[in-house]
Amino acid sequence: MKFFNMRALNKKKLALFAIFLILINYLSLTSYPIKDNFDKMALQSPWVENILCDNTTTASYIYALYVFIFSGFIYADSLVIDRESGLMNIISSKIDYKKYMIKTLCYNFFIAGIFALIPALVNLGLWFSVRTNVPLVYFNTMNMNPDALFLGVFFKSHIVFYILHFIKIFLCGGIIATFAIFINTSLNNKYIGMVVAFIIDILLSLILVRVMPNVEVSLFIFVSSLMKPDILTLIIFGVFLIPSLIYFSFRLRRRDIL
């Protein structure tokens, strides 16, 4: 684990993280006027509504950019670096190749999920400590879409609702990181993965928001039935995760990922 942390948590990456963390929470906490708000734009796609307590969407859009950039940046370049430096040959001579690859992919998923989650956790803590006049549950149910993911849970247990949303943020960061390391490794580029993931997410959002409402009514009704948050979550989950798993499964069998 120490080896992975040394590679992921260098000064450049931690400095970038600190800048985003401060900027996101500053914009969120200084929003005016003070009021409850359910902000579902935090990761820019319909499957990952978040709970940044923000009166505007500025902090949420920056958070969206942060999650895609940082999840695809913090460790998703590791396999490309290993190939260019020859480090993989050294590692493979000391430990099992398959074991190292699995550990690399798992660490990439975990560290990206953690860093995706930290700004939201800090945001929640700051709002409850600094802005003490904000009620314990800072969701305005009048602003919540009736089909919002976990809405049924919200009315039954606020605590479970928070937990589910934070788990969702963690999984989102991990999935983006997995997709990014797949793109980076397959194209032998250290940075293109995070860009491709962000572009795909924007295209999916544009299709759902701009294109679908203009198609034939019958087709739109059918597509709308697939746009329920739970179904849509699985669809976009598959778009990012399935190609990545297929690629690494194939390469692990051939033992020639690099």
DSSP string, 178-232: HHHHHHHHHHT-SSHHHHHHHHHHHHHHHIIIIIGGGS-HHHHHHHHHHTSHHHH
More confidently predicted of 66 and 207: 66
213 pLDDT higher than 60: no
CA 124 to chain centre: 18
pLDDT band at 147 (very low <50, low <70, confident <90, very high): low
In this structure, what are the phi and psi dihedrals at residue 34, rounded to the nearest 5 degrees?
-75, 125
Q: What is the pTM for the complete model shown? A: 0.79
Of the chain, the percentage scoring pLDDT greater than 90 comes to: 10
More confidently predicted of 23 and 98: 23
Minimum mean pLDDT range among 10-14, 117-121, 217-221, 228-232: 217-221
CA distance linking residue 198 with residue 121, whole number of Å: 23
Q: Is 53 exposed, middle or buried (0-12, 13-18, 19+ CB in 10 A)?
A: buried
Rounded average pLDDT over 123-128: 76
Buried b (16+ CB within 10 A) or exposed e, 7-21: bbeeeebeeebeebb
CA distance linking residue 132 with residue 125, whole number of Å: 11
Q: Tell me the pLDDT of the chain averaged across its residues.
A: 73
How do residues 31-73 score in pLDDT, each as one tens digit?
654 444 444 443 333 333 444 544 446 777 778 788 888 888 8
CA distance linking residue 257 with residue 247, whole number of Å: 9
8 Å CB contact between 33 and 53: no
181 pLDDT higher than 60: yes
pLDDT band at 179 (very low <50, low <70, confident <90, very high): very high
Q: Which amino acid is at 47?
A: W
CA distance linking residue 125 with residue 30, whole number of Å: 15
Helix (H, G, I), strand (E, B) or coil at 40: coil
Rounded average pLDDT over 71-97: 79
Minimum mean pLDDT range among 20-29, 91-100, 103-112, 202-211: 202-211
Q: What are the boundaries of each domain within the chain?
A: 2-254
